[in-house]
Structures are given as C-alpha cells and as structure tokens.
Amino acid sequence: MVTSMSKKKGSPLQKARRIGITIAILVVLVLCGVAGAGVYLLSPPQATGRPVLVHIKPGSTIWDVAQDLQRHGIIRSANVFFLYTHLLGKSRRIRAGYYRLSSSMSAAQVLFQLASGKHMAGIWVTIPEGFTAWQIANLLQKRGVVVAKPFLSVVHKPEGIIHADFPFPKTGLEGYLFPDTYLFDPKSSPSVVIQRMINDFERRFADPYRAELQKDPIGLWGVTTVASMIEREAKAERDRPRIAAVIYNRLKIGMPLQIDASVLYAMNHHTTQISTNDLKTASPYNTYLHTGLPPGPISNPGLQSLLAALHPDHDSYLYYVAAPNGTQIFATTLAQHEHNIRLVQQEESSVGRHPVAQ
C-alpha cells in the first residue's frame, strides 16, 4: 500500500536561504534609510534663506565649526556635517574668517566655501603694537589677506602709491602702519591694506596732534621713531613716558641711546635675546655704536607709545634696566644703575642679561 507523505517544512538549507534573504532585505532597507537620512541631513534646511554672517575663529576645530553652523541654522545636523567633512578629507582645510552663508545652501556648498575661502565676507586681523613691517606682512599673508613680498615692496617704496598729509621718510612706512584691528577682504591689494593703516595713523595721531608735532623740535618723524623704541622696550604702561625721558635726556647730551631693540632690528631678529657680539653689529640702527636717533622707526608703535614720545616725563633719568616682573628700574647716575643691575641679577635665576640701556 502506498501512503501519501504529509507536507514537510523546508530543509535546513532552504531555511538558511530564507533567513539570508530576509537579512539582506533588512540591510538594504537600513542602508536606504541611512542614505536617505544622510541626504536629507546634508540638504539645505530651507528652500530660501537670508544670508547670515558667520565668523569662523582662528584655531576653531571642525566640531566647533559644525556646532556654530547648526546654531545659525545653516546646516541641519552638526554630527552629520562633522562626519561629512572627515569623509571628504577636508576637516583640516577650513579657513578662518567671516562668511555670508545661507540656510538655502547644501552642506556641500557650505563646506566648499569654508575650505576654499571664496565669498568670504572679510578677514579680521589684529596688528599687535610693536610689530615690524616684516612681521605685519607675514601675519597678513598667513591670514590670506596679502602676499608678503609685494606688501613690503610698497612699504619700502610708497611714493606714487600711498598718499598721506605728511612727507614719507626715506626709510619708507615702517612706524606708520598703525596697530589696530582691521577687517580686510581676502587677497587684497597691498596698497589698499597699507593705505588703510596710514589713514588710521593720521586719524588717530597725526591729525589730532598736528599742532604739537609741528612745534616739536624733532617733528613727526622723530616722535614716531622714539615711540617705536618705547614700544619695543616698555612692558608696563607707566614706564613709557619715563623711557621717553631717558631717550631725550641722552639725545641732549650726545650719549648713545643703547637700545637693545634697535640692534635686534638691525639684525632683523624678532626676539628679545641679545648677545655681546650682537652689540657690535655694523648698522646705522645700532644705537650702541652710533649717537642720535636711528635712521627711522624700528617698529610700528601704538597710540600710547606715540603719546609718551610726544609727552615724556620731565625726569633726569639716563638709565633703566628691566626687572623680573617686566617693569623698568630707572637711575640718574651710572653708580645707581649698576646697583640696580646687581639687584636684578640677584633676583634672576640666570645671569648675563644685558640692561636695556647703560
């Protein structure tokens, strides 16, 4: 007798196939969902949107940038934008500056602008007091404002390019590039940037004090040159008029100024360290070897140093030495000065530092 077999469930192989197909479908669905979510999160938050001024600060991480963009409503998700920039290898290419961005831009468009620097709204740059033209040029080049070499060419030969209500000294515009915070366009013309600084110098100092400068025996050039040395020497605000007094007192008696900063300028060194051999540097800027003022300013002074040079204290000081706390100790006689030096050396762990003036 033949008996019919009841329906049997599939074999283990068939079960494995069904499970595999189910898992594959689920994976595809998950991937599609992730892809769809990714596309959605990277798409513009709005169809239209007003431009927003976003400041990418120097030193910001890509996570800082992503969070800031999300706060401004430029992107949907800081996390997705963060991963997106890393996947494209652009996490270290974001350029600091001001950008006009909109919520109608995709994440790709936003990233392109931030990485290329295109459509920057401007670059804020703070020029520190006491920077030389060389230091300013390199700072501006680093920030993407100008190329250093053409900038310095205009600084050294400004005739016919830069305009001012005062005659340019033979040494160029060193000393007249007013330290301030400026908003520049990226890749600006050197002449435009320099003219801004010269205009600021005139507006903040040359024009308001024109009458006093005209009466001053050394005039604008001399006052600016003295101020440039004060700027490099003074650490404490109260010392500026006193250092000015020392400089003018030495000029009156024909005594060498012996300003360390002038020697460093002659050597094109932008440090505070100086050696005995450095003091022998053959240069008209070496105020240890030459009496009188150097040929021109040795830095670009701020307003307080300019005012100190214009309004010095009426002291009889001829010497000063830097104390460990950054202030200066002043003296009228050489004996007093040498005593002050010994006191400073006793306080310092290392010996051999040259007094600022002697």
In this prediction the pTM is 0.69
The predicted structure's pLDDT at residue 272: 65
Q: What does the pLDDT look like over 218-252, one tens digit per residue?
A: 999 999 999 999 999 999 999 999 999 999 999 99
Beta-sheet pairing, 120-126 with 52-56 = unpaired
The confidence score (pLDDT) of residue 226 equals 98
Residue listed under structure tokens 């740059």: 125
Q: How many Å apart are CA 316 and CA 319, to the nearest integer?
A: 9
Q: How many CA atoms lie within 13 A of 80 on its CB side?
A: 18
Give the Cα separation of 20 and 27 in Å (integer): 10
- Assign 349 a pLDDT band (cuts: 50, 70, 90): low
CA distances 145 to 112, 187, 338, 353, Å, are 19, 5, 47, 38
Structure-model confidence comparison of residues 270 and 96, the more confident one:
96
pLDDT tens profile 120-141: 677 889 999 999 999 999 999 9
**Domains identified in the chain and CATH numbers:** 52-118 (3.30.1490.480), 123-206 (3.30.1490), 218-347 (no CATH)
The full 3-state SS of the chain, as one line of letters, equals CCCCCCCCCCCHHHHHHHHHHHHHHHHHHHHHHHHHHHHHHHCCCCCCCCCEEEEECCCCCHHHHHHHHHHCCCCCCHHHHHHHHHHCCCCCCCCCEEEEECCCCCHHHHHHHHHHCCCEEEEEEECCCCCCHHHHHHHHHHCCCCCHHHHHHHHHCCCCCCCCCCCCCCCCCCCCCCCCEEEECCCCCHHHHHHHHHHHHHHHHHCCCHHHHHHCCCHHHHHHHHHHHHHHHCCCHHHHHHHHHHHHHHHHHCCCCCCHHHHHHHCCCCCCCCCCCHHHCCCCCCCCCCCCCCCCCCCCCCHHHHHHHHCCCCCCCCEEEECCCCCEEEECCHHHHHHHHHHHHHHCCCCCCCCCEC
**Residue 314 pLDDT:** 94
Instruction: Give the pLDDT band (50/70/90) at residue 205.
Output: very high
pLDDT tens for 98-121 read: 888 888 888 888 888 888 876 667
pLDDT for 274: 81
User: Bigger pLDDT: 21 or 293?
Assistant: 293
Q: Does residue 3 have a pLDDT over 50?
A: no
Residue 234 CA to its chain's centroid (Å)? 20
Q: Are 117 and 144 in contact (CB under 8 A)?
A: yes
Q: Among positive and negative, which fits the CA dihedral 45, 51, 52, 53? A: positive
Q: What percent of the chain has pLDDT over 90?
A: 53
